[in-house]
Structure 1
Amino acid sequence: MQQETKRQKQVGQLVQEELSDIFQRMGFNVIEGGMISISNVRMTPDLLEARVYLSMFKIDQPKSMLHKILERGNEIRRELGNRVAKQLRRVPELQFYIDDTLDHVFKMEEIFKKINDERDERNKEQE
């Protein structure tokens, strides 16, 4: 994967901050007893597309939640455009993805805990 340029990172950071605020105002950050946050934004080299990674915590159906967000994608992009018009020549197209890194972290922690518990159990049996 190609290294992001400084400008890509700057624009990504700007988009992430503005989208986080937009999500909060639209009520997406705390929804259905769970939380949605924007974990990362990666810009394409031409800055015309933003890949927005959403971290969903305690959301029962992440795919259906993603669908709800996609349905309001034009509204979200329009709001973003109003906020970044002075900093960017063109408002990037928004592509939303579910960031499941946290899920992997939790699964790995569960696996390690299980391994440790089993090891502790074996040690007790050997004593």
Structure 2
Amino acid sequence: MKNMGDGRRVARVEREIQATIAQFLIRGFKSPLPGLVTVASVKMPADLRAAKVYVSVLGSDKDQELALELLQERAFEIQNFIGKELKMRYCPKLTFYVDHATEQVLKVERILSDLELERKSKEPKEDSESDDE
């Protein structure tokens, strides 16, 4: 049976890699990335040899595609930075993905806000009708 590893260790390494990539985006990227790019999460298997990096890009769809392309092109450079900063036995191979969770949260918040505005717009009419009676 394959060793599943310690879940706490994996979670700790995921957080450290997330923070290190964020540092690289702030200090190491020479040219600015399109849109506002944040590292949403990092997911790794128990062997810590690969990392799926989910990034959130606030901007247009074109900005998302371009940011993802640039990050994937510079993945080796980011891996080297992680290797120097964290001094891990194996530096994980990075693969970047767009995190759609942030978009979904914003969409739900927008819907809830619209519903609240609609509810508030109906309330005064009901109150004024009851005053007439």
Distance 1:70 1:31 in 2: 12
SS at match of 1:56: strand
Pairs aligned (count): 122
Residue 42 of structure 1: aligned partner: 43
* Mapped pair 1:110 → 2:110: yes
Using the TM superposition, give the Cα deviation of residue 98 of structure 1 relative to its aligned residue in structure 2, in angstroms.
Answer: 1.2
Residue 58 of structure 1: aligned partner: 59
Distance 1:25 1:52 in 2: 18
Confirm or deny: 8 A CA contact 2:33 2:67 kept in the other structure: no
* Cα displacement string for residues 40-70 of structure 1 (whole angstroms, at most 9, x for unaligned residues): 1121111111111112233552122101111
Structure 1: gaps of 5 or more residues = none
Confirm or deny: 8 A CA contact 1:40 1:52 kept in the other structure: yes
Distance 2:98 2:41 in 1: 10
Q: TM-score, normalised by structure 1?
A: 0.80
Residue 12 of structure 1: aligned partner: 14
- Structure with greater helix share of residues: 2
Distance 1:7 1:114 in 2: 42
Structure 2: gaps of 5 or more residues = 129-133
Using the TM superposition, give the Cα deviation of residue 124 of structure 1 relative to its aligned residue in structure 2, in angstroms.
Answer: 3.2
TM superposition outliers: structure 1 runs of 4+ over 6 Å:
none
SS at match of 2:90: coil
Using the TM superposition, give the Cα deviation of residue 6 of structure 1 relative to its aligned residue in structure 2, in angstroms.
Answer: 0.8
Over alpha carbons, which structure has the higher Rg?
A: 2
What amino acid sits opposite 2:58 in the alignment? F
What amino acid sits opposite 1:79 in the alignment? F
What amino acid sits opposite 1:75 in the alignment? E
Measured on the aligned residues, the alpha-carbon RMSD in Å equals: 2.4
* Mapped pair 1:21 → 2:23: yes
Using the TM superposition, give the Cα deviation of residue 100 of structure 1 relative to its aligned residue in structure 2, in angstroms.
Answer: 2.0
Using the TM superposition, give the Cα deviation of residue 84 of structure 1 relative to its aligned residue in structure 2, in angstroms.
Answer: 2.4
Q: TM-score, normalised by structure 2?
A: 0.77
Distance 2:56 2:112 in 1: 23
Could you tell me the percent identity over the aligned residues?
26
SS at match of 1:97: strand
Confirm or deny: 8 A CA contact 2:54 2:97 kept in the other structure: yes
